């Protein structure tokens, strides 16, 4: 008679739907469809979609591109480690290198301008986490991910690592500047 015993009826599939269950299934199904449609809808009408543009690469090739780009666009260096701060041309490309345990270089972007930010790791997985904006993107070794972003508010932001990458994971942090 109960859920821990076999059904009494030989044929239970033909049991008519109960009103409570039937109503709930219809409501729940409609809600499921709404949630499903939201994702393609946001691709068309929303502004926050993660880019699908990615390429296979190697640490050496990516680092070479990033270094060349940084050499052309460095405006100053910061901290004892002399980490370059790069100011890429609006609409242009900026390269960010994730490695144990550093984001390199630092980016200085202009408010309201759009940039193509390249992300790749030199070693383990890392997590690009922009605070306090709270944008979080996984960074893989061997893959170059190109994300188009438009900073909307000037200020000093932090990039922290939120994918565990070894014993000094929690020291991996950097700044990102957005200027007017």
Partner 1 sequence: MNDKVAPNLLGTIEDDELDEPIPAMQQLLDNPFLLLFIGVAMPTVLYVIWGVMEIVSIPMAK
Partner 2 sequence: MINRNFRTDPATGLVFHETAEKLIRANAVAAVVSLLVGGILAFFVIMTRWPAVHLLPADWFYLVLTAHGVDMLVLWIIFFEIAVLYFAGCVLLKCRLAAPKWAWTGFWLMVIGGIMNNVAVFRGDSSVMFTSYVPMGAHPAFYLGLILFAVGALIGCFVFLGSLVVAKSEKTYNGSLPLVTFGAVVACIIAVFTIASGAIILIPTFLWSVGLIPTIDSLMYKTVWWAFGHSSQQINVSAHVAIWYAIAAIVFGAKPMSEKVSRGAFLLYIFFLQLASAHHLLSDPGLTSNWKIFNTSYAMYLAVLASMVHGLTVPGAIEVAQRQKGYNRGLFEWLRKAPWGNPVFSGMFISLVGFGFLGGISGVMMGTEQLNLIIHNTIYVPGHFHATVVVGTTLAFMAMTYFLIPTLFRREIMFPKLAKWQPYLFGLGMSGFALFMMGAGTLGVPRRHWDMTFAGNPLGYEFAGTAYLMMGLTAICGLIAIIGGGAYLLITVGSVFFGKKIDVPEYRTLTLREGAAPRPVRQPVAVAIGAHHGNIGIAGFVAPGTFTLAMVFLVAFVLYYFVNWKYLSTVWPLS
Q: In angstroms, rounded to a whole number, what is the distance separating the alpha carbons of residues 164 and 166?
A: 6
Query: Would you count residue 57 as binding partner 1 (CB under 8 A)?
Result: yes
Site size toward partner 2 (CB under 8 A) is: 88
Query: Would you count residue 135 as binding partner 2 (CB under 8 A)?
Result: yes
Which of partner 2, partner 1, none interacts with 42 (beta carbon under 5 to 8 A by kind)?
Answer: partner 2
Q: Which helix (H) or strand (E) holds 146?
A: strand 143-149
Instruction: Sketch the per residue contact string, 128 through 157, with partner 1: x for CB under 8 A, - otherwise.
Output: ---------------xx-------------
Among positions 65, 87, 113, 160, the unique one binding partner 2 when judged by CB under 8 A: 160
The strand order across the sheet containing 83-86 reads 74-78, 83-86, 106-110, 173-179, 155-161, 126-131, 135-139
The contacts of residue 179 (CB under 8 Å, 6+ apart) are 108, 109, 110, 111, 154
3-class secondary structure per residue, 154-169? CEEEEEEECCCCCCCH
**Length reported for the chain:** 180
Q: Site residues for partner 2, window 25-44 (CB under 8 A)?
A: 25, 27-29, 31-33, 35-36, 38-40, 42-43
Give whichever of 25 and 75 is closer to partner 2, judged by the CB atom. Answer: 25
Query: Would you count residue 179 as binding partner 1 (CB under 8 A)?
Result: no
Point out which residues bind partner 1 (CB under 8 A).
10-14, 54-57, 61-62, 143-144
């Amino acid at each position: 008679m109960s859920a821990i015993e076999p059904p009494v009826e030989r044929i239970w599939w033909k049991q008519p739907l109960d009103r409570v269950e039937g109503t709930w299934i219809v409501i729940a199904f409609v809600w499921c469809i709404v949630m499903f449609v939201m994702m393609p809808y946001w691709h068309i009408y929303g502004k926050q979609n993660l880019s699908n543009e990615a390429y296979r690469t190697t640490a050496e090739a990516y680092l070479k591109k990033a270094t060349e780009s940084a050499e052309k666009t460095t405006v100053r260096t910061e901290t004892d480690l002399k980490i370059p701060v790069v100011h890429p041309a609006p609409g242009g490309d900026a390269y960010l290198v994730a490695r144990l345990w550093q984001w390199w270089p630092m980016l200085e972007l202009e408010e309201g301008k759009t940039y193509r930010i390249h992300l790749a790791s030199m070693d383990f997985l890392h997590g690009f986490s922009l605070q306090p904006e709270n944008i979080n993107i996984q960074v893989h070794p061997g893959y170059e991910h190109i994300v188009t972003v438009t900073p909307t508010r000037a200020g000093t932001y932090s990039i922290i690592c939120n994918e565990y990458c070894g014993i000094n994971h929690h020291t991996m942090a950097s700044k990102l500047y957005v200027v007017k």
